[in-house]
Structure 1
Amino acid sequence: MSSPGADLSAIVKAYDVRGVVPDQWDERVARALGAAVADVLVLEPAHPAGGAEGGSPTRGGARRLVVGHDMRPSSPGLVDAFAAGAQDRGADVVVVGLCSTDGLYYASGVLDAPGAMFTASHNPAQYNGIKLCRPGARPVSLDTGLGAVRDHAAASLAGPGHEVVDSRGSRTDEDLLRGYGEHLRRLVDLSGSRPLRVVVDAGNGMAGLTVPAVLGEAAGLPALPLDVRPLYFELDGTFPNHEANPLEPANLVDLQRAVVAQGADVGLAFDGDADRCFVVDERGEAVSPSAVTALVALREIARERAEHPDAPVTVIHNLITSAVVPELVEAAGATAVRTRVGHSYIKEEMARTGAVFGGEHSAHYYFAAFWGADTGMLAAMHVLAALGAADVPLSDLVADYAPYAASGEVNSTVRDVPAAVERVRGVVTARGAGLDELDGMTVTAPVGTGDEAEGTGEGAGPGPGGRAWWFNLRASNTEPLLRLNVEAVDVATMERVRDEVLALVRDDA
């Protein structure tokens, strides 16, 4: 099979590189990308757009680039080629080997160096990709450097290749797993927890490496009062047991069964690169990521207040998280800031506002104490610490963080996305419901509009955010899909709104 050509537009996405190996990219492409990353992120002056003239040199004047990878079969060869390309251009490459994505962010933060994580998260085994960051785990997107990386690499592949400089960079291999675990343990102290039985489903992904190191003794850290029961800890990028994507309910079934069968206090499920974590309570019921966001937000607010009593505190949440998140944040005297969906928006707002924490409905959790980056492990540790300090089961502990009925994300494939959106818009505006378009269409029914819960008994009436219900309808960026999320005061109201919107969306007649 011939090597992929110089058109990289199919694999360079808005926030990362991702494609099928070797059909869409291979080691030749990886070497060109390594040289381009060295040029744009390591050696050129630091600049928000990447590759532009002006600004100050990369922090500390260092030429280092830190590289890690997940357990996919293609990862080691791609990393070697990428590192060689970066060395060709004079970058000193630090290869940290097998790690989670947040482990790479840790390396970028502690070494103050740009980073490249080779992973395709939960995509099938034939895929691989690269997540890039600037020093201190600052994000990189098409507009802030990834576009320039793509263009540099494409030019190299189309022409004679990149120039190899006289002072070729070095390569060193380092193991930072213990330091990663030590850093997380300093942020959340679990040593005083009551004993907990914890079932963890790693999905054959990188949590099979990180959980024993952070929550166990595999990296040489002291034992914690945790009885960790492993599911699918063998690192296997072919994902022989189930897809490493806990966002899909089918991929939680094994964990839910194991929690109940083993009488565990809590279950944790990680995705392939272990930057997202989902939680299951002692009954085997999934805990909403919004509830986790609320729980962690209150803990981070309390920690910040203890350290800086008079300082303002801000928490970021995307517009699909439950209304209970801003309600509880503001009740705690902090400021809740609502953003669009997506890590780039969360991280931008974290930096702009100085927020201590940010959460998304997709189980991405962001911490100022972790360079503003997302880490599922740290969120899991917060849940364990809260549970370990409580004398009630997890289901009781999180009950106050999930008072409303939510649909979860419901996807609809439609022939004409704009027409479907307009059908919904026409109905809701005729009824006088509130509407904003920060990200897709968010529609709310304020109390008093006649859309309150109807005859549903105690608890009916004002619901999330003082509203009877709200929903968000967003178009997929890559597929002819509309994504619907509904939240309401009770299940009956949520189902009524959900079904009415879906009928409009799916009416292609």
Structure 2
Amino acid sequence: MTSLKFGTSGLRGLVTELPDAICRAYTVAFLRHMHKAHGIAPGGKLLVGYDLRESSPRIAAACIDAARIFGMEVENSGPLPTPALALRALAQKLPAIMVTGSHIPADRNGLKFYRPDGEIDKTDEVGILDVLDLAGADDSTPDDAGAISAKALTDYEKRCISMLAPNALAGKRIGVYQHSSVGRDLIVRVLGALGAETVAIARSDVFVPVDTEALRPEDVTLAAGAAEKYRLDALVSTDGDADRPLVADETGAFIRGDSLGLLTAHFLNADAVVTPVTSNTAIEISGLFAQVYRTRVGSPYVIEAMSQATKDGYLRVVGFEANGGVLLGSNVELDDGRLFALPTRDAMLPIIAVLGMAARDKVPVSKLLANLPARFTRSGRIEHVGPSKSGPFLQALLDDEQRASFFAQLGTIQANDAIDGVRVVLATGEVVHYRASGNAPELRCYAEAATDARAEQLLSWGLQRAEEQLRKYS
């Protein structure tokens, strides 16, 4: 048995299951599939980047070595945000591999693959597995990974700075929760270039698994303390590979990721929004967008629906996930130029959009949601719940009688769907949603209500109720 598999965003598994030979095998399989399905022949160029996990440089070196032996020229982009690598891959029409486990713990890591036109899709995943040769994997020690190129990081930094007018953030004091985010120094430079005074906080030499959908108590405490201590206008951060944002207002209260996405789409004047079923229903209730597309959790599904939105004739297509990562499906005209499409999760776009909106409207960050429908979401997870437990649990909830019995304490069920896991809408309009994580052995629970306190209450109930039922599958 192995935990190594394709999930909602790339290949993920335990570091112990990603020795050099396995990393080489997946790299070669990716390149073989690129050659077979997308015409990428040996002799071309491959981009490789990585995050700040202890295991990432070693895994990247194995990927680079395998690609060179395959016959590819490799541009080692070094440690950088995933969207920075994706931006260069799209601009240069090159395949790319990002070594990252995103937000999951340091004992895990992964590979995220990009075609020359963007993220691989589920069909590509099947194609890679079809040509994967683990038996013949090369287990030799990789050669030196070579000099690091700053081109991808430099181009991405310029893109971020171009999102607002010069000095748009002048007079603002922004805290940057650095921890082990690969974008920690980039954020400081970009916000400084836009006129903000930045305060770097809590830099870590040890990897910190910051999950923007399930914040740790210490993250919440840090934000509140920093906001007061440094008199901040906002505090910002990202997950490990800087494709999921964190934004706290002037009080240190974090804004939910789906609310960040909604605000960013509004800032960009989107006519169509694409988001998974885990995002809150304020998106539809607000009436800000001509069309809202709902998908399963995972960037491949969001990207697929963004493509459909474009085919349907929408011109300003913005996708986002409940984790806050924003995918730009269309070129967008801004006051100071054009922002080109970047259909992969990006943390800097929502960070800059929210800070820019607050500065433009001359309001505190906490007031940006004041005119939007009052819908509050909370999410949590039960760790160490593999498919052998989450599968039967979710399957039972698909049965009408078992589902009604499970949720009886909360009242009558108005509607339900199985787009991704099991999502229930109660007669009150409140929502409880369960799904198995695609990245780790976890069962995730999402709750939505008209008040934050009620959403927290529903989440607490949902996690406790699930834990009770999961004991049956031990």
Q: TM-score range by the shorter chain?
A: 0.7 to 0.9
Which of the numbers 211, 235, 238 marks the counterpart of 1:245? 211
Name the amino acid aligned to 1:262: Y
**CA 1:492/1:424 → structure 2, altered by over 3 Å: closer, same or farther?**
farther
**CA 1:232/1:151 → structure 2, altered by over 3 Å: closer, same or farther?**
farther
Work out the CA distance in 2 between the residues paired with 1:18 and 1:175. Answer: 26
Name the amino acid aligned to 1:27: D
Deviations 1:327-383 (A, max 9, x none): 22xx23521112222211111111221262112222222112342111001110101
**CA 1:490/1:125 → structure 2, altered by over 3 Å: closer, same or farther?**
closer
Work out the CA distance in 2 between the residues paired with 1:501 and 1:206. Answer: 34
Residue 337 (structure 1) aligns with? 293
The offset of 1:388, in angstroms, is 1.4
Residue 92 (structure 1) aligns with? 73
Residue 49 (structure 2) aligns with? 68
Residue 463 (structure 1) aligns with? none
Deviations 1:187-211 (A, max 9, x none): 3435333421100112222022321
Deviations 1:452-505 (A, max 9, x none): xxxxxxxxxxxxxxxx32332334457786533232334676577667766764
**CA 1:107/1:251 → structure 2, altered by over 3 Å: closer, same or farther?**
farther
Work out the CA distance in 2 between the residues paired with 1:411 and 1:271. Answer: 20
Compute the RMSD of aligned alpha carbons.
3.2
Residue 296 (structure 1) aligns with? 264
Name the amino acid aligned to 2:149: E
Residue 324 (structure 1) aligns with? 282
2:361 pairs with 1:361: no
Residue 231 (structure 2) aligns with? 263
Which of the numbers 364, 369, 377 marks the counterpart of 1:393? 364
- Name whichever of 172-181 and 65-74 sits farther off: 172-181
- Name whichever of 30-39 and 127-136 sits farther off: 30-39
2:97 pairs with 1:116: yes
Name the amino acid aligned to 1:158: A
Alignment of 1:53-64 (within 5 A): 57-58=39-40, 63-64=44-45
**CA 1:491/1:424 → structure 2, altered by over 3 Å: closer, same or farther?**
farther
2:21 pairs with 1:28: yes
Name the amino acid aligned to 2:261: T
Residue 12 (structure 2) aligns with? 18
The offset of 1:299, in angstroms, is 1.2
Q: Percent identity?
A: 23
Asked if the contact 1:203–1:271 (Cα under 8 Å) also holds between the matched residues in 2, the reply is: no
Work out the CA distance in 2 between the residues paired with 1:323 and 1:288. Answer: 13
The offset of 1:300, in angstroms, is 1.4
Q: What SS class does the counterpart of residue 344 from structure 2 fall into?
A: coil
Q: What SS class does the counterpart of residue 180 from structure 2 fall into?
A: coil
Paired residues, what number?
A: 436
The offset of 1:172, in angstroms, is 7.3
Asked if the contact 1:475–1:483 (Cα under 8 Å) also holds between the matched residues in 2, the reply is: yes
The offset of 1:227, in angstroms, is 0.7
2:469 pairs with 1:469: no
Q: What SS class does the counterpart of residue 273 from structure 1 fall into?
A: coil
The offset of 1:131, in angstroms, is 0.7
The offset of 1:111, in angstroms, is 1.5
Q: What SS class does the counterpart of residue 24 from structure 2 fall into?
A: helix
Larger Cα Rg: Structure 1 or Structure 2?
1
Alignment of 1:364-379 (within 5 A): 364-368=325-329, 369-379=340-350
**CA 1:289/1:160 → structure 2, altered by over 3 Å: closer, same or farther?**
closer
Work out the CA distance in 1 between the residues paired with 2:217 and 2:354. Answer: 23
Name the amino acid aligned to 1:95: N
**CA 1:495/1:74 → structure 2, altered by over 3 Å: closer, same or farther?**
closer
**CA 1:18/1:439 → structure 2, altered by over 3 Å: closer, same or farther?**
closer
**CA 1:437/1:151 → structure 2, altered by over 3 Å: closer, same or farther?**
closer
Q: Which has the higher contact order (CA 8 A, sep 6+)?
A: 2
Q: What SS class does the counterpart of residue 400 from structure 1 fall into?
A: coil
2:168 pairs with 1:175: no
2:194 pairs with 1:224: yes
Asked if the contact 1:277–1:376 (Cα under 8 Å) also holds between the matched residues in 2, the reply is: yes
**CA 1:201/1:85 → structure 2, altered by over 3 Å: closer, same or farther?**
same
Contiguous gaps of at least 5 residues in structure 1: 1-6, 47-56, 163-169, 217-222, 305-312, 452-467
Structure that is richer in strand per residue: 2
Name the amino acid aligned to 1:353: A
Q: What SS class does the counterpart of residue 113 from structure 2 fall into?
A: strand
Residue 135 (structure 1) aligns with? 116
Q: What SS class does the counterpart of residue 373 from structure 1 fall into?
A: strand
Work out the CA distance in 1 between the residues paired with 2:108 and 2:413. Answer: 46
Asked if the contact 2:422–2:435 (Cα under 8 Å) also holds between the matched residues in 1, the reply is: yes
* TM-score between the two structures when normalised by the length of structure 1: 0.76
**CA 1:316/1:160 → structure 2, altered by over 3 Å: closer, same or farther?**
closer
The offset of 1:297, in angstroms, is 1.2
2:168 pairs with 1:192: yes
Work out the CA distance in 1 between the residues paired with 2:164 and 2:44. Answer: 33
Work out the CA distance in 1 between the residues paired with 2:432 and 2:295. Answer: 15
Asked if the contact 1:208–1:232 (Cα under 8 Å) also holds between the matched residues in 2, the reply is: no
* TM-score between the two structures when normalised by the length of structure 2: 0.81
Deviations 1:212-238 (A, max 9, x none): 34333xxxxxx321011112345x3x3
Contiguous gaps of at least 5 residues in structure 2: 140-144, 311-315, 330-339
Alignment of 1:96-107 (within 5 A): 96-107=77-88
**CA 1:35/1:473 → structure 2, altered by over 3 Å: closer, same or farther?**
closer
Work out the CA distance in 1 between the residues paired with 2:452 and 2:188. Answer: 39
The offset of 1:267, in angstroms, is 0.6
Work out the CA distance in 2 between the residues paired with 1:29 and 1:196. Answer: 47
**CA 1:327/1:86 → structure 2, altered by over 3 Å: closer, same or farther?**
same
Name the amino acid aligned to 1:180: Y
